[in-house]
Structure formats: C-alpha cells, structure tokens
Amino acid sequence: MSEPEVNPLSSSLLDGWSRFVASPGTPFMIPGHKQRAGLLWPELGAVNTGDVPLFGGLATLKDAAGLLAAAEARTATRWGADWCRYSTGGSTHANQVLTLSVGAAGDEVLVARNAHRSTLSGLLLAGLTPRWLTPEVTDGLITGLSVATLEQAIARHPRARAVFLVEPSYVGTLSDREALIATAHAAGLTVVIDQAWGAHLGFHEDLPAHGIALGADAVIFSAHKTLPAYSQASLVLARTERLDAGRLERAFDLSATTSPAGSILASADAAVALLDSPLGHDRLSVLLASVEQARERLRGAGLSVAGPDTHRMDPTKLVVRLPHGGQLLEQRLIAAGLAPEQADETTVIPIVTLADRPEDLERFTDVVLEHLADSPLPRSAPESTGSAEPAASHALPTARMTPRDAFFADTETVSAVQALGRVSAEVIAPYPPGVPVLVPGEEITQATVDLLQAAAAAGVRIAYAADPTLATFQVVRA
Ligand SMILES: Cc1ncc(COP(=O)(O)O)c(C=O)c1O
C-alpha cells in the first residue's frame, strides 16, 4: 500500500505548519488574529493557537496551491485513486462535491435511503432527482443494501446516472460492496460511496477493503471521524474513468471556502500519512485487538454486541445493544467522563479510533459492566418492536415534489395533525438507523407520523427535524 519513495511519517503540509508556527513573523494577512490574539484576551489567543492559513501560512501565497496539490496527489496514490482533494468542510462538503460531479440538473440518481443529510443537500444543489434504495434493517441495525434492491431500482429507473451508497453505515455494517459495484457498473452507473465512517478501511489486513480498492468511482471520508485529524478534515477521492477530473475540480472549488485552514489540511495530510505507515498499522492492530477484547467481555456479561462474526462489518466498531436502558447507561458513562458518541434506549456506540489506548477501552467496558451489575437488565438482544426498525421497513412515502422544489417552495410550520396530507419541507430520520422516514417533497401520512412518534416514544433520537418532539412539522405552504 505504501509508496516506497514516501517517508511513511512525513507530511509536507505538517512541515509547512511547523515552520510557520515556529516563526510567524508579523503577517499583514488574514487571519485577523495574527497569532497574537492572546495579547488582547488570553483565552481567545489559546483558542486560536495553531490556526495557520493555507495561503501565506503553510507556504507563500505563490507556492501554497502547488504544495497542497502535491500532497493530495500523493494521497490519491495511497488509495489507488486518480484524483484527491482535502476539504476543510467535512464530509458534508465532500458529498456535495460528488453530487455536483455525476450528472446534470434533472438527472435521476439511485440513493441509499440511509444517505446523510449532506447528500440530500447535494442532490438539492445539483438538482438531481433521487430514486431511493432501502437498506435491510434487522433489530434496528442496518445490515446493508441487497443486490436485488439495486437491480430492481435499475430496472425501474434505466436512465439513472449514478448510485450513492453509504458504506459502512453509522453502525459499521457493510453491504456486499463488490457485488453492488459490479451490478451498477454493468448498468453504466457511476458508483459513489460515502465512507465517512471508514477512513481507516483497507489499511490493515484484518480490515475490510476501502471502496476505491473494490472499484468504486469515488469515495469520501471524514478524516476527523476515525483518524487523528482536526475537526472538519475530510477527503474526496475519485477515479476518472466515469467521472471527469475537470468537473470534480470545478465542483470542489465552487462549494469550498476560499480561505482554507492550513491547520486542518496539515492534520488531514499527517493523519493519512500516519495511517499509511508502520506506526499506523501497529495502532490499527492494537485497536482491533482492544475492540475485540471489549466485545468479548461485554458479551461474556450477556450483552448483545454486533461484531464481524455476527454481521459483515468494520471490526473496529463497537455497537452495544440493550433491551432498554441505553440512556441510563449513557448517563453513567458521561458521569465517568466517557461520553459515547451515540446512545438511545437500545444502542450505545462509543467511537473508538487508533488514538484510543487499550486502557481507555478497558475503562469504558468496566463502567458498562459496573452499571449492569448495579442495574441488572434482561440482557437479551433488543426486540425489534420499539427499535427504529419500522423506519426502514415501512413503504416509502409518495414523493409529490423533488427535494429541490420543496426546498425553494414557501414553507410553514404546522401541528402534527395539520401536517397530514401535506408535503414535507424537511428531512426526518430516527437515528440509528438514520434512514429518513421523510425527505423534502414527500407526503406526510398518518402512518409516517405514527411511526415517527413510536420511535420517539421508544427513546430513539429524531434527527434533523426542526422540532424533534414531533409536535410540529415544516411543510410546503399550500
Ligand atoms: C454517513 C455520513 N456522511 C457524511 C457526514 C458528514 O460528515 P461531516 O460531519 O464530516 O461533515 C456524516 C456525519 O455524521 C455521516 O454520518
């Protein structure tokens, strides 16, 4: 995987950052804090520490673009891609770039229904019409998208230009990506994978391959999610057989800031260099072993924990399932200083990365086990009723407008009762599994409202809704 000529732990962007921080001079340039805001207010200085711009910071105004392009080209090679850009706008920006790169306004695209809100925003910006692919969900966990679902969608929408997948899902599960990619390519579709949670995939023999290695045309990931990178650091990687490099560039620049934070770019570059180094490999080995150990200890105590032996999934993902009481467990973890990323009544998910030490994960496991000893629960797997499962299994609502038309329409806020029969102006997704029950442009029905309210009553977080209590809905003005 490594480029032999590249020193595994070197990053030209990190070098530029270090040089500037050591000797910032007296820049008459942005950012306006001039590395001296501490003279005005010490805490403001502290919070600005390390903020170095790309232009005039990592390198001179003249040299910065070339320095960045060379680093991105090296990273494209690391993934076997032809094109790579580092984004300071998170995978949100990265997803938007790809929606702006696959077709033209009015084109149809096939989209996994667990797509992140940012993919929806991209569809809206690009004027693409989504045709949904509903992933399989079992006991509240997305288990992947079936090839049959993709084949049916291709047959129904033969003019679709691309397919957008989310692999791995938020809970770490993976579809049979090779089969999906082969099916899509055979039908002439461009394959885009939102691998936001899987930056590390493919960089250890015990990890599943990454999307580019499996033949996807483009992959995005958040370096800040599973790599030791600054918040908002994200990457877009593409092959250019089915995607046009010029269009990718224009789409990226159209939607990116013109003042990128060099510190974010340097941390992304250094994090991927680390991943692709012997040290990164060692840390992944440690991570894999400590997550496996945690999984065994939790299972030994009778808990249901998803793993590579029960699902096709990222083995570094720890997904603790409970019959109920997930939020009480979350409180206990927060009180112990171990706040998990996600918790609802039946699922608790700590994000574990190669920056975690084995003792951190042991402590996490100890606290879960202590909590269970203090408040014993029936420890069987969660029952499917009361989980978010119905969110995926119910029939998709009728789309009465495209997401874009619904976005630009006048909207109003109405009560849940008044919302019946109206067109939703918002995305609403119980999380997990994060499959939207409503997307802008879709009709709100009694079945949809009942389903959302049941999920909320079961303690599932209602993501993206303007009013997560579901007392009101935002609808297109009649
Ligand atoms: C699947 C998926 N894609 C994209 C994003 C957006 O990522 P970011 O927060 O880096 O903008 C997220 C965020 O959680 C996500 O879960």
Summarize pLDDT for 168-198 with one digit per residue, the tens: 999 999 999 999 999 999 999 999 999 999 9
Q: Which atom of ligand 1 is nearest to the CA of 434?
A: 16
Rounded to an integer, what distance in angstroms lies between the CA atom of residue 455 and that of residue 394? Answer: 13
- Tokens linked to 284: 């992944």
- What are the CA-CA distances from residue 275 to residues 81, 133, 188, 203, 245 (Å)? 16, 32, 33, 7, 26
**Ligand 1 proximity of 90 Cβ (cutoff 6 Å):** yes
In this prediction, residue 378 carries a pLDDT of 60
Task: Give the residue-averaged pLDDT of 364-381.
Answer: 83
Task: Give the residue-averaged pLDDT of 298-305.
Answer: 94
> Residue of the nearest CA to atom 9 in ligand 1?
90
- Whether 393 has a pLDDT exceeding 60, the answer reads no
In this prediction, residue 433 carries a pLDDT of 65
| Residue 258: Cβ within 10 Å count | 7
Residue type present at position 49 = T
89-141, pLDDT tens digit by residue? 999 999 999 999 999 999 999 999 999 989 999 999 999 999 999 999 887 78
In this prediction, residue 375 carries a pLDDT of 84
Burial class (CB in 10 A: 0-12, 13-18, 19+), 158: exposed
pTM: 0.94
> Dihedral through CA 320, CA 293, CA 316, CA 134, nearest 10?
-40
Band (394; pLDDT cuts 50, 70, 90): low
Q: Which atom of ligand 1 is nearest to the CA of 114?
A: 1
In this prediction, residue 432 carries a pLDDT of 64
> Dihedral through CA 67, CA 73, CA 74, CA 77, nearest 10?
180
In this prediction, residue 385 carries a pLDDT of 36
- Whether 4 has a pLDDT exceeding 70, the answer reads no
In this prediction, residue 345 carries a pLDDT of 84
- Whether 389 has a pLDDT exceeding 50, the answer reads no
**Ligand 1 proximity of 92 Cβ (cutoff 6 Å):** yes
Report how far ligand 1's centroid is from the alpha carbon of 455 (Å): 22
149-152: which pairs have CB atoms within 8 A and are 24 or more residues apart?
A: 150/110, 150/180, 150/183, 150/184, 151/183
> Dihedral through CA 117, CA 119, CA 124, CA 126, nearest 10?
160
Ligand 1 pocket test, pick from 118, 120, 121, 225 with the greatest ligand atom count within 8 Å of Cβ, gives 118
Share of the chain above pLDDT 70, in %: 94
What string of DSSP letters covers 208-277?
A: PPPTTTTT-SEEEEEHHHHSS--TT-EEEEE-SSSS-HHHHHHHHHHHS-SS-BHHHHHHHHHHHHHHTS
CB contact at 8 A, 11 and 68: no
422-474, pLDDT tens digit by residue? 999 999 988 766 678 999 999 999 999 999 998 888 778 899 999 999 999 99
Tell which wins on pLDDT, 3 or 174.
174
- Whether 348 has a pLDDT exceeding 90, the answer reads yes
The crossing angle, in degrees rounded to 10, of helices 262-275 and 278-300 is: 80
**Residue 410, helix vs strand vs coil:** coil
In this prediction, residue 391 carries a pLDDT of 44
Mean pLDDT score of the chain, rounded to an integer?
Answer: 93
Span of 2-11, 35-44, 232-241, 386-395 with lowest mean pLDDT = 386-395
Rounded to an integer, what distance in angstroms lies between the CA atom of residue 435 and that of residue 144? Answer: 12
- Tokens linked to 81: 């891609």
Report how far ligand 1's centroid is from the alpha carbon of 373 (Å): 35
198-252, pLDDT tens digit by residue? 999 999 999 999 999 999 999 999 999 999 999 999 999 999 999 999 999 999 9
Rounded to an integer, what distance in angstroms lies between the CA atom of residue 99 and that of residue 203? Answer: 27
- Whether 388 has a pLDDT exceeding 70, the answer reads no
**Ligand 1 proximity of 166 Cβ (cutoff 6 Å):** yes
**Ligand 1 proximity of 95 Cβ (cutoff 6 Å):** yes
For residues 180-212, b (16+ Cβ closer than 10 Å) or e, as one string?
A: bbebbbebebbbbbbbbbbbbbbbbeebbebbb
In this prediction, residue 139 carries a pLDDT of 79
The crossing angle, in degrees rounded to 10, of helices 64-79 and 12-22 is: 140
In this prediction, residue 457 carries a pLDDT of 86
Report how far ligand 1's centroid is from the alpha carbon of 420 (Å): 30
Report how far ligand 1's centroid is from the alpha carbon of 83 (Å): 21
**Ligand 1 proximity of 226 Cβ (cutoff 6 Å):** no
Tell which wins on pLDDT, 87 or 327.
87
Residue 413 gets the label, from left (phi > 0), alpha (psi -120 to 50) or beta, of beta
Share of the chain above pLDDT 90, in %: 86
Span of 80-94, 287-301, 385-399 with lowest mean pLDDT = 385-399
Residue 290 gets the label, from left (phi > 0), alpha (psi -120 to 50) or beta, of alpha
**Ligand 1 proximity of 91 Cβ (cutoff 6 Å):** yes
In this prediction, residue 289 carries a pLDDT of 98
Q: Which atom of ligand 1 is nearest to the CA of 89?
A: 11
Mention every residue, 6+ apart, whose C-beta is less than 8 A from residue 93. 87, 118, 234, 255, 256
